[in-house]
Structure 1
Amino acid sequence: MTTPQQHQAPNADDFLMGGGGAPTAKFPAPGTVVSGRITEKPTVEQQRDIQSGEQKFWPDGNPMMQLVVTIQTEERDPTIDEDDGRRRLFVKGVMKNAVADAVRMAGARGLEVGGTLAVTYTHDGQAKQRGFSPPKQYTATYTAAAQAALHTPDPGTAPAPVPQQYTPPPAATPAGLSPQQYAAAQHNPATQALLAQQQAQAASAATPPPF
């Protein structure tokens, strides 16, 4: 028989500040999504009975394990003092399979700090025994840390303004001609002299008188 694993000790920050870790993520109804950045290295620990707190074992004596993942969510519970939005996911059973599939789909080797994990409670499965609650069914998506960082803007920097290129207004043409008409008149010997005279008059009128 495998020797029972001792209950995992809290991390240094939780021990120092007197906390017991982030609150457990809740999935009260189908459609609930819990998502966020992974804030600390996931750990593996032995499952415990909800009622008695005793460690759980499989019929063959092996401990029933689970993965504990802490993520930074947007959730805030007014009943929790100084709730910072961190939540713990206890990944086991159906959820473990969903998370593993998500990691494979992302091309990653596992969960890492900085990666983004989203778990969705989709529906209830079939109860295996009479009197037992039907197992919750989950799907999950995962974005590796490097890829997630590419899509996160730096909150301390703003995008540089794009310089606006100055476009000069179109030059005026004499006699109210359009640019196309003026170009055609310049190539017509019959109108070249007239255009030259009009341009000279316009330049003379625009020149300010000497002081």
Structure 2
Amino acid sequence: MDANSFLMGGGGAPTAKFPTPGTVVGGHITEQPSVEQQRDIQTGDKKFWADGNPMMQLVVTVQTDQRDPSIEDDDGRRRIFVKGQMKNAVADAVRQAGGRGLEVGGILRVRYSHDGEQKQRGFSPPKQYEAHYTPAAAAQLQGQQPTAPAAAPPAQYAAPAPAAVPAGVNPVTGEITSNYAQPAPAAPQGNEPPF
């Protein structure tokens, strides 16, 4: 939890759920990912490995298009707790994207692909995940905007927006070059996530 969440009493975004194979959760990363110690689901106690070292996890908050009517004022943000096999999938996705880590504004999508081999009797088989990551700069170049607007930091000076030039008019000289509207450029393609 960051200092402002502590101050304002927020417990963070709801936890992302992966109930069935094929479930995908993802979107723009809205805050700097953090590392925290895992906790036991039943007791809330911190978890440790057999050698005494703490079991850690990465917490990534993403802006999804999900809305749960049982959550008051649900804004669609979800926390993905990255650990175990999911950690490997996310790390591979970051490497494939040419990144060095997850960053605010990047797009992370995680998919529960299937169940792994059941290793212990009485336990559920481990969930297996796939991940896709688009770094922030690439997401911006592809024109992928966050689902919900983020608050912009205050600026000392904001340049005025350039005036729109009608289609068929030379933007430098102002001459009419055509009586017909020019077609809009095609949307970028080829980097669509696999899920």
Q: Which range, TM-score by smaller chain?
A: 0.7 to 0.9
Q: 1:153 to 1:108 in 2, by over 3 A?
A: closer
Tell me, in whole angstroms, the C-alpha distance in 1 between the residues paired with 2:134 and 2:124: 32
Give the match's secondary structure for 1:146. Answer: helix
The 5 Å alignment of 1:36-47 reads: 36-47=27-38
- The aligned runs of 1:3-22 (5 Å cut-off) are 10-22=1-13
Structure 1 residue 11 displacement after superposition: 1.9
**Structure 1 residue matching 2:58: 3-state secondary structure:** strand
Q: What residue is the counterpart of 1:162 in the other structure?
A: 167
Q: Output the CA distance in 1 between the equivalents of 2:98 and 2:72.
A: 38
Deviations 1:172-206 (A, max 9, x none): xxxxxxxxxxxxxxxxxxxxxxxxxxxxxxxxxxx
The aligned residue for residue 49 of structure 1 is 40
**AA paired with 2:167?**
V
Structure 2 gaps of 5+ residues are 150-160, 169-176, 181-195
Q: Quote how far apart the aligned CAs of 1:161 are.
A: 4.4
Q: TM-score, normalised by structure 1?
A: 0.70
Q: Which has the higher contact order (CA 8 A, sep 6+)?
A: 2
Q: Secondary structure at the match of 1:14?
A: helix
Q: CA deviation at 1:121?
A: 0.4
CA gap 1:160/1:18 in 2 versus in 1, 3 angstroms: farther
1:76 matches 2:89: no
**Which residue does 1:29 correspond to in 2?**
20
Matching of residue 151 in structure 1 with residue 151 in structure 2: no
Higher helix proportion, which one? 1
Query: 2:100 maps to what in 1?
Result: 109
SS in 1 for 2:4: helix
Normalised by the length of structure 2, the TM-score is 0.75
- Please give the alpha-carbon distance, in whole angstroms, between the structure 2 residues aligned to 1:39 and 1:73: 10
SS at match of 1:147: helix
The C-alpha deviation readout for 1:75-134, integer Å capped at 9, x for no partner, is: 000000000010000000010000000000000000011100000001111121000011
Report the structure number with the largest CA radius of gyration. Answer: 1
Amino acid at match of 2:92: D
Q: Which residue of 2 aligns with 1:206?
A: none
Q: 2:76 aligns with which of 66, 81, 85?
A: 85
Q: 1:135, 1:23 → 2: CA distance?
A: 22
Distance 1:92 1:54 in 2: 17
Find the aligned partners of 1:121 and 1:39 in 2 and give their Cα distance: 22
Are 1:96 and 2:104 an aligned pair?
no
Alignment match, 2:121: 130
Instruction: Work out the CA distance in 1 between the residues paired with 2:74 and 2:3.
Output: 19
Which runs of 5 or more structure 1 residues have no equivalent in the other structure? Answer: 1-9, 168-211
Question: Residue 153 and residue 91 in structure 1: after superposition, are their counterparts in 2 closer, same or farther (change >3 A)?
Answer: closer
Percent of counterpart pairs with the same letter?
A: 69
Deviation at 1:160, TM superposition (A): 5.6
CA 1:131–1:110 in 2, change beyond 3 Å: closer, same or farther? same
Give the secondary-structure state (helix, strand or coil) at the position aligned to 2:139: helix
